[in-house]
Chains A and B, each alone.
Chain A
Amino acid sequence: MSLQPASTEIAARTAAVISTMKDLEGPLLPILHGVQEEFGYVPQEALLVIADALNLSRAEVHGVATFYHDYRKQPAGRHVLKLCQAEACQSMGSDAIAAKVKQALGIGFHETARDNSVTLEPVYCLGLCACAPSAMLDGQVIGRLDDEAIDEIVAEVRR
């Protein structure tokens, strides 16, 4: 089921991303964001191309790519569901919400469903603390999560 592109293609597409951002001051993070947007993750093969273009060692680029939570080593599922697990959401029962969602989707945090429908991730604050508990589904924000909202989310990712 691997739909991951061949390494020569990765190199070419990475180079294209780099060319649009190379002249920024401190271009590495924007480039990594761009690469992730292009592929849905940051392929190992891309790191080499970036290191070359920015005159950095491969270790330096690897160090940066692995430091930040956002950069993925593998592609995510078709949907990405982030559940806020920070204090304000905890005060409104985010633990119980997370348990229900995990049960309904059959996966834990940092896991992708076997049918590749969804990746579940914890997030520490979406800034929606006055309408907790909150979540983000593919960039869409959802506040005051309740059972009904969970059912809707589960139905949406299974569609």
Chain B
Amino acid sequence: MSPTIYMTIYIPGDSGALALGAEKVAKATAKELAERGIAAKIVRNGSRGAYFLEPMVEVETTEGRRAYGPVKAADVKGLFDAGFLTGGQHRLALGDPEDIPFIAKQTRLTFARCGITDPVSLEDYEAHGGLDGLRKAVAMAPLDIVKQVTESGLRGRGGAGFPTGIKWKTVLDTTADRKYIVCNADEGDSATFADRMIMEGDPFVLIEGMTIAGIATGATKGFVYIRSEYPHAVATMNKAVEVARKAGVLGATVLGSPNAFDIEIRVGAGAYVCGEETSLLNSLEGKRGVVRAKPPLPAIQGLFGKPTVINNVISLASVPIIMDKGAVFYKDFGMGRSRGTIPIQIAGNVKHGGLFEIAFGLSLGEIVDEIGGGTRSGRPVKAVQVGGPLGAYFPRELFDTPFDYEEFAKRDGLIGHAGITVFDDTADMLKQARFAMEFCAIESCGKCTPCRIGSTRGMEVIDRLAAGIEPEKSLALVTDLCNTMKFGSLCALGGFTPYPVMSAITHFPEDFKPAPARVAAE
């Protein structure tokens, strides 16, 4: 009877939005709808990634979607009074969400649907271009799929940047009675939340990417290993897998083709090191998450000794668009050997924190100052850590570094999983360096000596530095220790812990001066 019957209100169910009160907003909205007798559907979408505007509520109007944010539960009544369901004016009105500068400036390929669709509605997914990549893949020869992924230039988004297509080729070429696709969703690096956002906001894109990987390599079983700190992602992925099975996207005949593929969701148990691929495989097998020596490569002897593709969430979630739009389309974005787009996660002490997907090549300064808008505290930026707890600290002098795997390596850094933590001028870099060692000591799997023992000795030496005990000797010692850890560790945990430590020492020497001088300087 009323035209309002088809109204749709989008209130994110993403855990970042939930952390800022989205659940209370949803409850208040449902209550207002009931009290006012308005029939409207509340969709719990993912987040568009502009966390400084979350919880961002959107309504579907005749002129398209209109956004309001950040909305508190207390604002809901006022929004209804202002007629927000038809795009009414309100102090929280943001207009068309696609026109919000933080969102408008992005190139969303992997995150095209994230925050827009109902995460667990397969119809919604298909209406927004979902499954087009898989449909093309089921009609192709495995080798042609692998070729297309290789030609796209896609490199592992987990941090190592290894070409995804080459990994797949090795698995395709290895004969075995059983092969696996393992998705590394153990996103433990601080400042990273891209994997979480995809799993909570567009889980089908990951399922589609994994299924394509299965068809391309001859694998029939996939595992998604999600860290236990992400209960919402686990719940959404489980639901999506169930929906995909019922719809025949997963199962004995993928989309009616002769290919079989199924996915199982597994939950980690709080070990950071399990983000390292070989310890993740051990963990999946039910063992201690201890790193394996390579070779053999997981592509040849991986999970349960079988050929295994192990890729990060974002790598796999980028595959459907490559299959749909072609290798050239994807490759056209980016710079140098870093092709396509990268979801940059801007975090920490920053005004406009969130996920920003864009082609490679933006400078660090543009990301921090222009997109991030500087610090949240309003104080000057002192340092930014790029690439999580194993990434280097960059001072303002290096803000001209373009976001590119090789360019960051040239400056003794890494882009890792593309998380950036901003620190203002109150940060104490000696403390940050000590934390890097401490974190390594807490999370070391214990297999190799440089990591297991080096991290603890590193903490002690930095403590001596802080206390002003033989500062020159201590500094030389920590440098030597970092060298040993870098070249002597089995995996990136021990091997990369020197990045934050040494970058802090190199770029912020004033913070490592003996204690009396530091006091005098203040």
Contacts and interface: CB of A to CB of B under 8 A. Distances in A.
B472 to A, nearest CB: 28
A16 interface: no
Contact of B228 (A70, A90, A92, A142): A70
B478 to A, nearest CB: 19
Given A70-B228, A88-B421, A130 B190 contact: no
B190 A88 contact: yes
Nearest to B273: A67
A86 B193 CA distance: 13
Interface in A130-145: 130-132, 134, 136, 139-144
B271 A68 contact: yes
Interface string A85-109: 0111111100000000000000000
A91 B349 contact: yes
B349 A127 contact: no
A139 B424 CA distance: 30
B385 A26 contact: no
B345 A91 contact: no
A157 interface: no
B485 to A, nearest CB: 19
A27 B286 CA distance: 6
Interface stretch (A5-13, A28-36, A73-81, A112-120): A28-36
A51 B290 CA distance: 20
A129 B347 contact: yes
A128 B193 contact: yes
Given A69-B270, A128-B16, A141-B15, 11 more contacts: A26-B286, A29-B284, A32-B269, A70-B268, A129-B193, A129-B347, A129-B419, A129-B421, A131-B16, A131-B19, A131-B20
Contacts of A86: 190, 389, 439
Given A33-B269, A70-B269, A125-B190, A142 B286 contact: no
A53 interface: no
15 contacts: A26-B285, A27-B286, A29-B266, A29-B267, A32-B269, A64-B287, A69-B271, A87-B191, A87-B388, A87-B435, A91-B424, A126-B229, A128-B16, A130-B355, A140-B18
Interface string B407-426: 00000000000010111100
Contacts of B195: 127
**Interface bracket on A:** 35 or more
B141 to A, nearest CB: 29
Interface residues of B, number: 65
A126 B191 CA distance: 9
B358 interface: no
Contact of A33 (B267, B272, B427, B432): B267
B19 A68 contact: no
B450 interface: no
Contact of A92 (B232, B348, B385, B439): B348
B192 interface: yes
A125 B229 CA distance: 8
Contact of A143 (B20, B285, B349): B20
A148 interface: no
B347 A130 contact: yes
Interface of A: 24-30, 32-33, 54, 63-64, 67-71, 86-92, 123-132, 134, 136, 139-144
Contacts of A90: 432, 435
Given A129-B353, A130-B354, A141-B15, A91 B269 contact: no
A65 to B, nearest CB: 9
Nearest to B346: A130
B269 A130 contact: no
B349 A134 contact: no
Nearest to A134: B19
Given A26-B286, A130-B354, A88 B15 contact: no
B161 interface: no
A51 to B, nearest CB: 12
B231 interface: yes
A144 B349 CA distance: 11
B189 interface: yes
Contacts of B354: 130
Contacts of A27: 286
B6 interface: no
B168 interface: no
Q: Which 10 A-B pairs have the closest CB atoms?
A: A28-B286, A130-B353, A143-B19, A129-B347, A68-B269, A86-B190, A69-B270, A91-B348, A130-B51, A70-B270
A124 B269 contact: no
B376 interface: yes
Given A26-B286, A70-B269, A70-B270, A92 B376 contact: yes
Contact of B190 (A28, A129, A142): A129
Nearest to B190: A86
Looking at B347, B355, B424, B443, the one whose CB has the most chain A CB atoms below 10 A away is B347
Contact of B19 (A28, A88, A128): A128
B20 A144 contact: yes
Contacts of B211: none
Contacts of B288: 63-64, 67
B357 interface: no
B208 interface: no
B230 interface: yes
Contact of B15 (A24, A64, A87, A127): A127
Nearest to A32: B269
A132 to B, nearest CB: 6
B276 to A, nearest CB: 14
B365 interface: no
Contacts of B130: none
A54 B272 CA distance: 26
A122 to B, nearest CB: 9
Contact of B353 (A68, A126, A131): A131
B188 interface: yes
B347 A132 contact: yes
A25 B304 contact: yes
Contacts of A142: 19
